[in-house]
Structure 1
Amino acid sequence: MNKELRVAAYAVCVRDGKILLARWVARDGAKRWTLPGGGMDHGEDPLDTVVREVAEETGYALEPTRLLGLDSIKRQYPRRLGTFADFQGLRIVYEGRVTGGELRPEQGGSTDLAAWHELSGVAALERVELVDIGLDLWRGKPPLGRAAERYRGSTTT
Structure 2
Amino acid sequence: MVSNPNFSVNVRSVDGFQGGEEDIIIISTVRSNLSGKVGFLSNRQRANVAITRARYCLWIVGNATTLTNSNSVWRKVVLDAKERNCFHNAADEDKKLDQVIEDALFEFELLDDSASAFNKLSIRDMPERTTFSRAKTETNTCMIVFHRKPLTLWRG
Q: TM-score higher than 0.5 here? A: no
TM-score (norm 2): 0.23
The TM-score with structure 1 as length reference comes to: 0.22
User: Which structure's residues are more often strand, by fraction?
Assistant: 1
Larger radius of gyration: 2
More helix, by proportion? 2
Q: Which has the higher contact order (CA 8 A, sep 6+)?
A: 1
